Amino acid sequence: MNKKLISVVGPTAIGKTKLAILLAQYYKTEIISADSRQFFKEMNIGTAVPSSEELAQANHHFIQHKSITEQYTVGDFEREAIQKLSDLFKVHDVVIMVGGSGLYVNAVTDGLNNFPTVDPSIREDLNTELAEKGIEALQMKLKQLDPTYFDKVDIYNPQRVIRALEVTIGSDTPYSSFLNKPKVEREFKVLSVGLKAERPLIYERINKRVDLMVEAGLLDEAKDLLFYKEYNALQTVGYKELFKYFDGEWTLEFAISEIKKNTRRFAKRQLTWFFKNKDTHWVEYDYDPKKLLPEIDNLIVNLKDG
């Protein structure tokens, strides 16, 4: 248990990549990405994948290593990430993990919860309902059946909503009741470091990032992916709004405003998720590296088991 994983978390657009690279360079180690949107090679601008310059500053893993046409679950990620960590810890005492996808972060640090096996036809029925009635119908159903999870999940992510509903319906037990079970024992200690800022500043940074994405060619990227819009990987903020524009449902101006709004909502849910971890060491987004690095060193030295 002398191996340490520093998990950098926080809302989107807060500067997690920058901090992860700083820590990777300081500890002369490598980075594992736990950002589920950055796994896919066809999605670049809209997922804020680290630039080539950033990727060159430290070795990154799980960045654009899959295709949107491949099925890739959080269970797959947990298995592959733990194996990668096992390899990295053979040569490094400290490894960095960074990402804003709370479920994927927890899969590595705490392990996935044990969910019951349910009838596959339930998912088929839910997918049919999604196609016929839209995500709103499923949102209302989840709110009725499991209000606890409804308040936590990204309700605009159909894959997450359907997963919660199929478990809830198939087991006749709220999905949330299977969460927060005792975590698995890992062969490493975890230090969670969170970046924070006042909400108005976070929202301002999000709005600016979206504008920069549009300037960088987000429309062309989304247009190239229009044929694949039904794939789960593309049921995400930044793409689904532009698909509505391409389909003639929305104006471009409204689509961009919706990207900003939905990203702000996503950031709010990220904060809710990460604040649940009482052991996270929160740092202001405009930290002083000269002060922060010794602080992290001290936390690493005094890191407790479990």
pLDDT band, residue 306 (cuts 50/70/90):
very low
Q: Is 14 annotated as a binding residue?
A: yes
CB 99 within 8 A of CB 77: no
DSSP 217: T
- For residue 80, what are the CA distances in angstroms to 13, 62, 72, 75, 132? 26, 9, 11, 9, 36
Q: Is 12 annotated as a binding residue?
A: yes
What pLDDT, on the 0 to 100 scale, is given for residue 139? 94
Please report the pLDDT score of residue 1 as a whole number: 64
Kindly tell me if the per-residue pLDDT of 305 is higher than 60.
Answer: no
CB distance 170 to 155 below 8 Å:
no
Q: Which of 12-16, 53-57, 124-128, 198-202 has the lowest mean pLDDT?
A: 124-128
Task: Tell the residue number behind the tokens 């009725």, with chain if given.
Answer: 144
Strand positions, DSSP E, the chain: 4-9, 31-33, 60-61, 94-98, 189-196, 281-284
The answer to whether residues 202 and 210 touch, using CB atoms and an 8 Å cutoff, is no
Q: Confirm or deny that 251 is annotated as ligand binding.
A: no
What strands, in cross-sheet order, belong to the sheet with 189-196? 60-61, 31-33, 94-98, 4-9, 189-196, 281-284
Which among 191, 185, 179 has a CA at the least distance from the CA of 97?
Answer: 191
Which whole number is the average pLDDT over 104-124?
84
Residue 270: closest CA among 88, 11, 40, 3: 11
Check the annotation: does 100 bind a ligand: no
| pLDDT greater than 80 at residue 296 | yes
Q: What per-residue confidence (pLDDT) applies to 292?
A: 97
233 assigned to a ligand binding site: no
Per-residue pLDDT tens digits for 208-232: 999 999 999 999 999 999 999 988 8
Calculate the alpha carbon distances from 4 to 57, 111, 160, 290 in Å.
21, 16, 30, 21
For 39-89, how does the pLDDT look when each residue is reduced to its tens digit (9 = 90+)? 999 999 999 999 999 999 999 999 999 999 998 888 899 999 999 999 999
Q: Which domains does the chain have, with CATH numbers?
A: 4-113+181-301 (3.40.50.300), 120-178 (1.10.20.140)
| Global pTM exceeds 0.85 | no
Any binding-site annotation on 10? Answer: yes
Q: Which helix (H) or strand (E) holds 295?
A: helix 289-301
